[in-house]
């Protein structure tokens, strides 16, 4: 059941059509005098594109959706998955920021311009005169680097990479949860549709028996009580059909909601792949399945990553107890003034006005109310808690696998018993119908056997679908994935 993305030729074809159309319009826009010729060529292509596009839309609306197609669509269109993808992009930015934090930071000294004017006393003539003064300065550049801070920057980079790995596993886990929800909704709709089909057959058979009894009653061969009983039976199966149809509509609505499918469009599911599956016994051991699940399930990997994340939290908290050492340097250039001789560049680059600086700083945490010690203790407690949580996740998984194997075995047994019951109920109904025609039993006995046959068919349907669901859950625990999904997981690097 683990989510794996299958190729969609319709999506590729749609993208190819859009790309070709864009290139065609690009040629028309920039071809100058050949616009008319391009337009003549474009007309048959436009007609062809419209026909193909309409054909794809009609095919998409009338085709039947398999279980895997429903799962792929539900995962692709899920709003929570879209949020998860955005979060993964943020995790990638965090890795980039943490990597660049290991490099020195560079900052420029902001330049400033001042201009003053007005009347003032000339010191040479001691008379008032108009004055004007402009200066430009503040040019320079500075850089700083943290040499040592308890390896906090390195641990930050490790935590960012780990968070990105956790984001990938959370994406897979979320896709698995959506796949399970879609699968449950799919089988609910499939059961409802089969229930409607079986009940409709029962309604038709009951209608034929009712017409036959009406004719026999008119001929005086059957009493009126048999006619009333058969009419009640007909009303009962029609009531059951209406209920089944309502369940089918609700199941279809729920499947569209889980898939984020357009509620106004028709959605038909394909039951052929499920119908081909026949229940059979499987010799599977819980420990074997559990071992496979430990290697593949994202829940286990997330729990393991939580332990590593808590360990990095301990390292980060311990870094707060160490002193930090940083170095910085800067260089500043001269100022320009229109009251001095020389042009702008010569004044700015004057060696007598260029200043340089270099500093080394150290910060030692002596006392801060034991807050750093408390943070370290809390980080250690969280680290121990994450280990306990990992053990709980393992135990819960092993219990789920045990129950799933028992349910799978039970579904196989129930299916075989249900098939036997259906066969015997069919024989019993056929015999009861002959005995009723011979007048050996009443119509009530015939309706009882008919209802028993209907319930037997329901049991067979329910047992078979339960088996298919449990079988797919076992595939999920065993980590059966497509080659594309497996290669994607192998391409990820673990710190």
Q: Give how far the C-alpha of residue 227 lies from the chain's centroid of Cα atoms, to the nearest Å.
A: 58
Q: What is the pLDDT at residue 111?
A: 67
Q: What is the pLDDT at residue 367?
A: 75
pLDDT in tens, 228-278: 988 998 999 999 999 999 999 999 999 999 999 999 999 999 887 676 667
Q: In this predicted model, which residue has the larger pLDDT, 28 or 426?
A: 426
Contact call for residues 379 and 310 (beta carbons, < 8 A): yes
Q: What is the pLDDT at residue 106?
A: 83
Residue 4 has pLDDT above 70, yes or no: no
Residue 338 has pLDDT above 80, yes or no: no
Residue 478 has pLDDT above 60, yes or no: yes
Report the C-alpha dihedral over residues 453, 454, 456, 460, rounded to 10 degrees: 140
Work out the average pLDDT over 52-76: 71
Q: In this predicted model, which residue has the larger pLDDT, 343 or 338?
A: 343
pLDDT band at 381 (very low <50, low <70, confident <90, very high): very high
Query: What is the overall mean pLDDT for the chain?
Result: 79
The answer for residues whose C-beta is within 8 angstroms of residue 1's C-beta and 6 or more apart is 176, 179, 180, 183, 472, 473, 475, 476
Query: 101: burial class by Cβ within 10 Å (0-12, 13-18, 19+)?
Result: middle
Measured from the Cβ of residue 309, the count of other Cβ atoms closer than 10 Å reads 19
pLDDT in tens, 160-199: 999 999 999 999 999 999 999 999 999 999 999 999 999 9
Q: What share of the chain is helix, strand, coil (3-state, %, to 5)?
A: 70, 10, 20
Give the DSSP letter of residue 32: G
**Crossing angle, helix 371-437 and helix 298-319, to 10 degrees?**
170
pLDDT in tens, 284-331: 888 999 999 998 899 999 999 999 999 999 998 888 888 888 898 888
Q: What is the pLDDT at residue 352?
A: 73
In the beta sheet, which residues pair with residue 130?
119
Q: What is the pLDDT at residue 22?
A: 32
- Determine if the pTM surpasses 0.95: no
Helix, strand counts (H, E) of the chain: 13, 9
Contact call for residues 337 and 135 (beta carbons, < 8 A): yes
Q: Give how far the C-alpha of residue 6 lies from the chain's centroid of Cα atoms, to the nearest Å.
A: 15
Residue 484 has pLDDT above 80, yes or no: no
Q: Work out the percent of the chain whose per-residue pLDDT is above 70.
A: 76
Work out the average pLDDT over 74-96: 93
Q: Which of 87-101, 387-401, 477-491 has the lowest mean pLDDT?
A: 477-491
Q: Which of 27-31, 147-151, 167-171, 452-456 has the lowest mean pLDDT?
A: 27-31
Q: Give how far the C-alpha of residue 156 lies from the chain's centroid of Cα atoms, to the nearest Å.
A: 27
């Amino acid at each position: 059941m683990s989510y794996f993305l299958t190729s969609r030729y319709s999506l590729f074809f749609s993208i190819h059509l859009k790309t070709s159309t864009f290139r065609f319009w690009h040629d028309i826009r920039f071809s100058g005098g050949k616009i008319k010729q391009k337009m003549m060529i474009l007309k048959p292509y436009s007609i062809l594109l419209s026909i193909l596009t309409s054909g794809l839309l009609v095919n998409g609306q009338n085709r039947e959706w398999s279980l895997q197609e429903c799962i792929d669509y539900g995962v692709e269109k899920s709003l929570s998955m879209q949020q998860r993808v955005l979060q993964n992009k943020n995790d990638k930015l965090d890795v980039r920021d943490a990597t660049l934090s290991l490099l020195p930071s560079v900052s420029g000294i902001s330049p400033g311009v001042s201009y003053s004017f007005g009347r003032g006393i000339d010191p040479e003539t001691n008379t008032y005169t108009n004055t004007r003064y402009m200066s430009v300065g503040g040019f320079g550049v500075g850089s700083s680097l943290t040499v040592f801070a308890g390896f906090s920057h390195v641990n930050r980079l490790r935590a960012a990479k780990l968070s990105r790995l956790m984001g990938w596993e959370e994406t897979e886990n979320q896709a698995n949860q959506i796949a399970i929800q879609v699968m449950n909704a799919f089988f609910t709709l499939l059961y409802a549709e089969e229930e409607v089909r079986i009940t409709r057959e029962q309604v038709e058979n009951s209608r034929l028996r009712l017409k036959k009894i009406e004719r026999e009653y008119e001929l005086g061969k059957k009493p009126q009580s048999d006619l009333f009983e058969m009419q009640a039976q007909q009303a009962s199966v029609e009531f059951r059909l209406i209920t089944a149809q309502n369940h089918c509509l609700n199941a279809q609505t729920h499947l569209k909601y889980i898939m984020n499918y357009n509620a106004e469009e028709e959605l038909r599911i394909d039951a052929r792949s499920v119908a081909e599956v026949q229940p059979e016994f499987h010799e599977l051991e819980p420990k074997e399945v559990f071992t496979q699940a430990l290697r593949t399930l994202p829940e286990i990997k997330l729990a393991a990553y939580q332990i590593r994340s808590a360990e990095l939290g301990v390292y980060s908290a311990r870094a707060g107890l160490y002193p930090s050492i940083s170095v910085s340097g800067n260089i500043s250039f001269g100022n320009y003034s229109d009251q001095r001789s020389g042009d702008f560049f010569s004044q700015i680059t004057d060696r007598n006005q260029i200043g340089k600086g270099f500093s080394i700083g150290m910060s030692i945490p002596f006392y801060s109310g034991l807050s750093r010690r408390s943070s370290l203790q809390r980080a250690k407690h969280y680290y121990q808690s994450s280990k306990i949580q990992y053990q709980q996740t393992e135990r819960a998984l092993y219990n789920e696998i045990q129950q799933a194997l028992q349910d799978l075995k039970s579904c196989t047994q129930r299916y075989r018993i249900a098939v036997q019951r259906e066969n015997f109920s069919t024989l019993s109904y056929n015999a009861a119908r002959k005995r009723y025609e011979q007048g050996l039993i009443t119509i009530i006995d015939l309706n009882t056997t008919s209802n028993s046959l209907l319930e037997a068919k329901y049991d067979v349907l329910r047992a078979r679908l339960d088996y298919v669901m449990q079988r797919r859950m076992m595939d999920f625990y065993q980590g059966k994935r497509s080659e594309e999904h497996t290669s994607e997981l192998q391409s990820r690097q673990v710190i």
